[in-house]
């Protein structure tokens, strides 16, 4: 059963839950990063900023967010971690166990149906310290690690499929392969549970799909929205699955909506950023 937590937004993205059960999320089209308390109160964390497709919580407080650059915003102060003039924007991002940030670059407009310029996956090790991990990502979206950190999963919405790489002890990535090739909808945001299964928001598919580590479809959660954009785990036991969308097909005036449901297998908590 899905519970509606908030609605009336544009294209929602970047859900993350802190240890106090506050849910952070962004509105890509209307702008802003927000925080919803367990009581349902919503506060603005970063006003007006548009294009925030990815978000991480920082160990020292504040949030790391994407857009035209990757920056750490804390108490109204902004510290730019990564920006390049030849990269017009960045989308989803995730953190590894030591707090480094992985983010996908957007080299063409994701909202235009035209020939795309593939982007890359970048790792941010500190302020201005970045390394390109690999390229040839048609349209970058959700990023996540296997429970042991030895595999990185990356949604390529232009595939549409999930690409995966083995992560070597030195941090380099090898053995690229493709799983979960979709015939309906495209993979957007994703998260990983303790069993190593991927929960993927299917944009255009009215659902969130759970795939095994090999890419076999395990189950679906139907969502009353065509544009399901991202997912994350939360709650004290990590059994709560949060789903964000850009529309609501049952009640169109609700527009972008946040849903919550409970699942059997707990999720992996997202590590805090430390860059």
pLDDT single digits (tens) 126-148 = 998 999 999 999 999 999 999 99
The residue range of the domain holding 240 is: 3-262
Cβ proximity of 63 and 45 under 8 Å = yes
Residue 119 has pLDDT above 80, yes or no: yes
Assess if residue 271 is contained within a domain.
no
The mean pLDDT value for 150-169 works out to: 97
Assess if residue 209 is contained within a domain.
yes
Assess if residue 206 is contained within a domain.
yes
pLDDT number for residue 233:
98
pLDDT band at 253 (very low <50, low <70, confident <90, very high): very high
Whether this prediction's pTM lies above 0.95 is answered by yes
pLDDT band at 81 (very low <50, low <70, confident <90, very high): very high
Assess if residue 225 is contained within a domain.
yes
The mean pLDDT value for 192-211 works out to: 98
CA 82/CA 90 separation, integer angstroms: 10
- Which amino acids are annotated catalytic? 188
pLDDT band at 112 (very low <50, low <70, confident <90, very high): confident
Measuring CA to CA, which residue among 160, 91, 78, 158 is closest to residue 118?
158
In Å, what is the CA distance from 97 to each residue of 103, 146, 189, 269, 273? 15, 11, 19, 10, 9
pLDDT number for residue 113:
72
Cβ proximity of 256 and 14 under 8 Å = no
Measuring CA to CA, which residue among 260, 264, 268 is closest to residue 243?
260
pLDDT number for residue 95:
98
Helix (H) or strand (E) holding 102: strand 101-106
Tokens 């929602």 belong to 12
pLDDT number for residue 109:
80
The mean pLDDT value for 219-247 works out to: 97
The mean pLDDT value for 223-237 works out to: 97
Q: Can the peptide bond before residue 160 be classed as cis, meaning omega within 30 degrees of 0?
A: yes
The total number of structural domains in the chain stands at 1
> Which token pair is 187?
């993979």
Residue 26 has pLDDT above 80, yes or no: yes
Cβ proximity of 150 and 158 under 8 Å = no
Cβ proximity of 30 and 10 under 8 Å = yes
The CATH code of the domain that includes 181 is 2.120.10.30
């Amino acid at each position: 059963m899905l519970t509606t937590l908030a609605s009336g937004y544009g294209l929602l993205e970047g859900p993350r839950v802190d240890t106090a059960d506050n849910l952070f999320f962004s509105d890509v089209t209307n702008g802003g990063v927000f925080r919803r308390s367990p009581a349902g109160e919503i506060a603005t964390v970063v006003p007006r900023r548009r294009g925030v497709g990815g978000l991480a919580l920082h160990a020292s407080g504040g949030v790391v967010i994407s857009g035209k650059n990757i920056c750490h915003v804390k108490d109204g102060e902004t510290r730019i971690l990564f920006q390049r003039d030849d990269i017009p924007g960045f989308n989803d991002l995730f953190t590894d166990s030591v707090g480094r940030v992985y983010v996908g670059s957007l080299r063409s407009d994701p909202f235009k149906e035209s020939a795309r310029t593939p982007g890359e996956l970048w790792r941010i090790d500190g302020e201005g310290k970045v390394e390109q991990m690999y390229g040839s990502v048609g349209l970058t979206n959700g990023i996540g690690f296997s429970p042991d950190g030895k595999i990185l999963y990356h949604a390529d919405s232009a595939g549409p499929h999930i690409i995966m790489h083995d992560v070597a002890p030195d941090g380099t990535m090898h053995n690229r392969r493709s799983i979960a090739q979709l015939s309906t909808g495209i993979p957007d945001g994703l998260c990983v549970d303790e069993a190593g299964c991927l929960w993927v928001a299917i944009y255009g598919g009215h659902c969130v799909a759970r795939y095994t580590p090999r890419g076999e479809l395990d189950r679906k959660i139907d969502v009353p929205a065509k544009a399901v954009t991202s997912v994350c785990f939360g709650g004290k036991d990590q059994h709560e699955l949060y789903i964000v969308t850009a529309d609501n097909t049952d009640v169109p005036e609700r527009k972008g909506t946040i849903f919550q449901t409970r699942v059997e297998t707990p999720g992996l908590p997202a590590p805090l950023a430390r860059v």
